[in-house]
Structures are given as C-alpha cells and as structure tokens.
Chains A and B, each alone.
Chain A
Amino acid sequence: MKNTTETIHYDDRIVRYFLMATLLWGGIAFSAGLLVALQLAYWKFNFNLEWLTFGRLRPLHTNAAIFAFAGNAIFAGIYHSTQRLLKTRMASDALSKIHFWGWQLIIIGAAITLPLGYSQSKEYAELEWPLDLAITAIWVVFAVNFFWTIARRRERHLYVALWFYIATIITVAVLHIVNSIEIPVAAFNSYPVWGGIQDALVQWWYGHNAVAFFLTTPFLGLMYYYLPKAANRPIFSYRLSIIHFWALVFIYIWAGPHHLLYTALPDWAQTLGMVFSIMLWAPSWGGMINGLLTLRGAWHLLRTEPVIKFMVAALTFYGMATFEGPLLSIKSVSALGHYTDWIIAHVHGGALGWNGFLTFAMVYYLVPRLWKTPLYSKKLADAHFWVGLLGILLYYTSMVAAGFTQGAMWMAMDKGQLVYPDFVETVVRIVPLYAVRAVGGMLFITGFLIMIYNLYKTIKGAPAPQDEAVVVPARVEQHHAGEGHRRLEGMATVFSILTFLAILVGSAIEIYPTLSIHRYVKPTTKVDPYTPLELAGRDIYIREGCYTCHSQMIRKLDFDVVRYGKPSTAAESMYDRPFQWGSRRIGPDLARVGGKYPDLWHLRHMVDPRSVTPKSIMPTYGWLTQKNTDFLGLRRRVSVLKSLGVPYSDEQVSEADRLAEQQAKTIADGLVTQGAPAGLEKKEMVALIAYLQALGKKGGSDE
C-alpha cells in the first residue's frame, strides 16, 4: 500500500464565527441576568414595561445563557477540535454555514418572542413550536455534518472528546423532540400532548438532561481536548475516561425526578431519581480528577498561564456542583432546598464557574491561535480571572445564604404553628442578599468586559486570519484495530448506537409507566376541566411567566401543608397542559389560592401588589386591565384540549367564546358591586382572576 500524504486546510472561519457569536450572546445573556437579579432586589428595575417584567425576562436570560452563550461556545470548540482530532476538514462547509446562521436566527427569534410573552412555560424549553421545529432542523444539520466528518476521518480511533460530542448530539436530539411534542393552537402558541405528572416528568427529564447533555458532556469533551493541549501533558487515565463516560451517560438520564421530590409524582419515580443522582457523584468526579490529575507535573503553569487558571477553576466548580447536585437530590435535603435560592446558587456555580470559566479558557486558548498573534495582555486575563472569581463566590455565597434562610423560615414551626406565617416576611429577609448577588453578577460582567477589551486589542493588531494548513495521510484504512473498547472506538456507528441505547434505558423505564395516567388516578375521581374563561386566564398566566415566581404544587411535607393546605394530587393537575408546578417560590404557592381572597383583592393586588402587601416584590400588571381577552381563539384551544382527552362537552367547544363572555360578565359585575370600576368584562384581568379563583377548586384533592 502506498503511503502518500496530502495537505488540507481546516475550516477555521466557522470556528471564528461561532467564537464571535459566543462573545456577543454571552454579553447579552449576562446583562439580562443582571437585570433580573436587580428586579428581585428592587422591583422597579422592570421599568414597568411588560416586556421587561421578571416572568418574561427570566426565560430570556436562561435561554440566552444556555443555548446562545454556551451553545455557540460548544459549537466553536466542537468544530475546532473535531477537525483536528479526525484530521479532516468538516465534511460540508455549506452545512457548517447553515448551522451557524440557522442557530443565530433561532436565537434572534427567541430574543424577540420571549419578551413578547410567547412561551410554553417549560423551563429551558419555553420557545414556541415554530422555533422548536427550527431547532430540530438545525440540530439535524449539525448532526449530519458531524457524523459525515467522522465518516471521512483520517484517524482510526475516536478520542474521548468525540465520545462526549456524540453523546451530546444524540441525546439532545432525543430530549428536544420528546419534550416538544405539542399541538399548535395559534401562530405562536401550543399545548403539549403531555399533561400533569407526564408533562412534569418529561419536562424534568428534559430539563435535567439539558444540564447533563448540553452543559456537561460537551464541556467535558472540550476539557478533554483543550486541557491536555494547553498544558501539554498526557491524559491521566484512559480507563478512567472509559468508565466515567459510560457511567455518566447511562446514569445521568435517570436523575430528572430529583427536581420533583415530595410532589405528586409517584413515589417510585422519585426514589429512582434520588438514588441515580447519588450514583452520579463518582462518575461526575471522574471527569474532574481525570482533568486535574492530567496537570500533574504542570502545576507551575497555574501561575503563568491564564488558560490553565481558568480551566482548573472550572474543573473545581464542576466538582463542587456535582457534589452539591447529589446532595440536593436526597429527599430530606430537597425538602429544605427545593423552591429556594439554594438551587439558583447551585446552577450558577455550574453555569458561571464551570461553563463560563471553561469557555473563557477555550477563548483565551483559541484567539491567539486562530489569529496567529499572542494575547495582548496576560495581566488583563489575570485580572479577568480574579474579578470573575470574586463575582462567582459572591453570587454563590449570597444565594446559598438566601436559600438556607428562606428554606428554614418556611419550615420553622412552633407548637404546630408556622413561625413565619406571613410569606412576605421570608422575602423581605432575603432582599438584601439579592442586592449582594447583583453585585456578584456585576463583577462577573466586569471580568467579561476586561476580556472583550483584551481580545479586541489582540485581534486588532493581528494579520488577516487564514485557515490552518496541515499535512495528513491521504487516506487511512478503516479496519477495526484493537481489542475490547479500543475496537469500539474505531466503530463510530456502533459506538453511537450503544450510546443511544444507554440513554434509552432510563428514559423508557421512567417515562413509559406514566403514559397511562389512570394508573395514578382512581377512575372514580372527578376533576372538572377549566372553563373556557379560566383557560384564557391560564394562558395569560403562562404568557406572563407567573410560574417563574409561583409554584402550584403543595408538597407532601407538614410545613407545606400547614401553610398552603392539602398536598397537591396527581388528579388535580391531570388536565394541565403544560403543567404549572413551578420550580421556585419567590412568591407563595398558588395551588389552592382559589377562593382565598375576594375578586377585588386580586384586582387590586395585580394592579399594584404593594397596595395590599406593602413589602411585596411582585411586578405590577396594570396592562391586564387594558388588554382585551381573545375570546374567539378559545374554540380552537378548547377543541385541541378535547382532542387530547380533556372531558369538554361539545357545547363547551362550539360555544367557548360565548360561555367565556358570560362568565366574564358575572365576575366583572361582581367586581363592580365590591367597588371596582365598570367595563372590565372584556379585559384579560378578569380572565386571570377567573383562573386564580379556580385553582384548587376543580376537585381531585381527595385522592
């Protein structure tokens, strides 16, 4: 066989594009984060504009941070490292470009639709169906390009970084598609086919594994490439790579229910979620120690190389977050931590420390190489590191303190009575910590801006960038070399199928049983569906993102029950599409708020929460008294729900708008007799009040 070589060019242009997008969206994601942080410290930071209220902006922040900032960073790193690990240019420049521009368009679509209130209210999956379709299409483009490149490789075996990329691409596709099965009811509105506990389970299977397969596995892949490159040291242990990779991929997928401990989710699913989360501890740490021990003999670089500094800090935060995760999954710890800011602290240790710092390390590694120019200033990079680190620590400690404080206040009971029965007391106590958190965020952003300046100076003086040329073997015989796992590393297709099977097991075992809801709801239990007007109100509740501050799930815990009433049951939310259990209680639980207050109270509270609860931090919603309810659209909405099995009568479908108008009139008339102004019957406020008064009043609480 003739051993010829050839010269090829890597596509570095696409890497530079993704890198620039990372920085741009990073700036936007962080700023949006700072703004929502400020709004909790002082509610007026929403400038009384509906588009900037907390409920609409928080999804923008989380989506921008995950899919725009981290997403583009992942793509930059994957496109850069994959070509080099496979010794081939990306298979198709056209697909790379479609991927890039398609992804940016989706982000722009998100940045427009989320502030307008087009949202599915499923965390990190808020984007509505047209964008869901676009994400699917672009992800397929990415996958085709990636696997095609693997097929054309000039390297026999796949390096561990690529295993993680494969797991990412396959699993994210599965998660996104399953969680987004929905039926459109309007141009930018849809109802998921999943309802109640199904939707809760599918959503947190997705939500948790978005963290696992969007924020963990791809970043581990990046770590496995950039750390040994930057430190010029061999990877510590190949066998550790194998074990922790498969353990992580197999175990992670089961852990979703730890977001739903003590809820109406069946006990068995909660138990599985908890035990698999605990088993995740070691596999997660496997990645950290393989990284840190790779630096043996290179620790001196920690002093001189900003790239290494950022990486070591990132791995340490990864270790912290993956210790804290299993801890929070223990039922009794979750009882304290769930719904509090401890969870917010936890994700930011991961997002700012692990994803943020690893991305910064990669950027500091890539820019000098892609632009063939040394970094403008290592001192500034150092400054970025310390300012950023201080910011994260301030953020983390203030939010842990807030979480412990509020959690403990919720739990506190004396002689069978709550010590802090007034919810707002527990909010007022932590507002100063919200201010400290905002300062932490500002420091993190300051560091980021220092980096931007540093990169700007670096790139400004650089020659016009060019694609890197390398000499590679003309072709590599793809026979299956090696034994055992080594052999598998040469078989990309088999490897990918096995990865798929590994994530399928946990998914199927947990999701399948809940598909037949009747297992969990007695056939004699009667739950009334929302009336058309209440449904309209519910859609407003979703649009305004009330779920970002309010849960609708009273846990099976004594202090929850004493505060809010009977624990929520699976029956009560079985027609809820999407479910509204929530994940954070910045305000009180609303599962049984129906009938707690008169209609006029809600009207006054929504128009100005501080007129009834002087220290409230809830936004004002005055525009709901001006906007008209969309009565006509209700027929389609009710009929879609009926087709999904919600027991509406034919009359409720065909007369949905008339029935809603009737009910609205009754409520508005009642409000007038209590002293409210006339003329509210067509307004969204009345629909929302109808919904709030229906919460907990539809039956099914006696399961």
Chain B
Amino acid sequence: MSDQEFDPMTDHEYDGIRELDNRLPEWWLALFGITIIFGFIYWLHYEFGGGHTQVQELNLAMGVIQSVKGSGPSFSEDQLNALFTAETVGKGHEIFTAKCAACHAAEGGGLIGPNLTDKFWLHGKGTSADIFEVIAKGVPEKGMPPWAEQMTEEELVATAAFVHSLKDRNVPGGKPPQGEEAP
C-alpha cells in the first residue's frame, strides 16, 4: 500500500456496517487494464488479424506428425523370419496376454476373434508377412483393431512372432475354423 492511501469514511451505515471509500489499489487497476487490453488484442488477432483457426492449427500439427512418422513399418518374409526368435516370441506372449487375449482368448483359441491356432486364415495364408500385416493394419470393419498406431515396431514384430508360433497348435476348446485352409 502506498502512503497516499486515504480512508475517507462515507456516511453509509446499514445495520451497523459502515463503508470506507478507499482508492482502488493501483496494482488491481493495472491488472484489470492489462487483461482487458490483452483480451482485446487476442480477439482482434483471431477474429480479424489472420490468426490460425483451430482447424489450420491442427492440420499443421498433423503434418508434423506425418513427417516424423515415416511410411510405417514394412518387412519382407525373410526379414521377419530372421527376427522371430525365442526371445521375441516370449515378449510377444506378454503383449498377446495384455492386448489380444480379450478377443482371441489367452491360448489363442479364439473368442470374439478367430482361432489363431489352426491352419485356417481369413486374411492371407498365415505367412509371417501376412500375420504381421493383419496385426499392423487390422480389419477395422470386422472388429480387429489396427495395432500399428498403438505399438512400436519391435512390439509389432514380437506379437507377430508369437502369433506365428501358435500356428497349428490346435489348442483344446478352440473356435471352429474360419477362412481358408493353408498348408
């Protein structure tokens, strides 16, 4: 408070309550003024000054994401087979339990999604590349989520390694075959 503060008493009195008429604190007035000026400038900028609309801002941000993301993982059959090791299968098993078991059952015998332990495939022929592809891109219209958005490349490979290892294990209680038989 500055020295110039003064305490003039008004003649107001209500049920014993009296009122002083102190000056408005300067910092308070300044704060009020600054927020009004800021608000006005901000408004002018976005309404008339060519400030980006939210859609423009989003498009810029999505452009950045596209540029750092690259074209998405792609592997050849041989590359994948080389990556499918006991270690990746083990890691894939964990991921499968956490993310896939809800639809394919813990053992892979199928539940909402098809049995992954038989020789029948809805998509492709059960090659390493086919399995990787369907996991990465999913079949959204049939309820198989695309996982490339949700997993790193290593995780995708590990999961595919595990699913590949399930092939033809024919766990008991699995769903009846769907799709076409592949040797």
Binding site for B on A (CB under 8 A): 81, 84-85, 87, 155, 157, 159, 225, 228-229, 234-241, 243, 247, 262, 267-268, 270-272, 274-276, 278-279, 281-283, 285-286, 289, 293, 326, 413, 415-418, 421-422, 556-558, 561-562, 567, 595-598, 600-601, 604, 611-613, 674-675
Do A235 and B18 touch across chains, with their CB atoms under 8 A apart?
yes
A276 to B42, CA, bound (A): 11
Most B Cβ at <10 Å: residue of A225, A239, A675: A239
B111 at the interface (CB under 8 A from A): yes
Do B24 and A278 touch across chains, with their CB atoms under 8 A apart?
no
Chain A residues with CB under 8 A of B40: 275
Do B58 and A228 touch across chains, with their CB atoms under 8 A apart?
no
A611 to B105, CA, bound (A): 11
Nearest residue (CB) in A for B22 is A237
Do A278 and B149 touch across chains, with their CB atoms under 8 A apart?
no
Do B69 and A556 touch across chains, with their CB atoms under 8 A apart?
no
Other-chain residue from A159, A225, A235, A675 in contact with B111 (beta carbon distance below 8 A): A675
Most A Cβ at <10 Å: residue of B40, B53, B54, B58: B54
Chain B residues with CB under 8 A of A613: 102
Nearest residue (CB) in B for A159 is B14
**1/0 per residue B3-37: CB within 8 Å of A?**
00000011010111111111111001101100110
Other-chain residue from B39, B103, B141 in contact with A278 (beta carbon distance below 8 A): B39
Do B19 and A238 touch across chains, with their CB atoms under 8 A apart?
yes
Identify 29 residue pairs between A and B in the complex whose beta-carbon atoms are under 8 Å apart, listed by A's number.
A85-B14, A159-B12, A159-B14, A228-B18, A229-B16, A236-B20, A237-B23, A238-B20, A239-B22, A240-B24, A262-B54, A267-B46, A272-B43, A275-B42, A278-B39, A279-B32, A285-B28, A415-B68, A418-B149, A418-B150, A421-B149, A557-B58, A561-B62, A595-B140, A595-B143, A597-B143, A598-B112, A598-B143, A604-B102
Do A278 and B140 touch across chains, with their CB atoms under 8 A apart?
no
Chain B residues with CB under 8 A of A417: 69, 149-150, 152
Chain B residues with CB under 8 A of A275: 38-40, 42-43
Do B47 and A235 touch across chains, with their CB atoms under 8 A apart?
no
B65 at the interface (CB under 8 A from A): yes
Other-chain residue from B12, B29, B65 in contact with A238 (beta carbon distance below 8 A): B12
Q: How large is the interface on B (under 10, 10 to 19, 20 to 34, 35 or more residues)?
A: 35 or more
B174 at the interface (CB under 8 A from A): no
B122 at the interface (CB under 8 A from A): no
A229 to B13, CA, bound (A): 12
- Closest CB-CB distance, A696 to chain B, in whole Å? 12
Chain B residues with CB under 8 A of A285: 28, 31
Do B22 and A236 touch across chains, with their CB atoms under 8 A apart?
yes
- Closest CB-CB distance, B4 to chain A, in whole Å? 14
Q: A159-B14, A235-B18, A238-B19 are in contact. Are A556 and B54 (CB under 8 A)?
A: yes
Known contacts A85-B14, A556-B55, A562-B65; 6 additional CB pairs below 8 A are: A159-B14, A237-B20, A262-B54, A282-B32, A556-B58, A611-B102
Nearest residue (CB) in A for B111 is A675
Nearest residue (CB) in B for A261 is B54
B82 at the interface (CB under 8 A from A): no
Other-chain residue from B28, B35, B65, B142 in contact with A279 (beta carbon distance below 8 A): B35
**1/0 per residue B139-156: CB within 8 Å of A?**
011110100011110000
B2 at the interface (CB under 8 A from A): no
B76 at the interface (CB under 8 A from A): no
Chain A residues with CB under 8 A of B32: 247, 279, 282-283
- Closest CB-CB distance, B106 to chain A, in whole Å? 11
- Closest CB-CB distance, B69 to chain A, in whole Å? 3
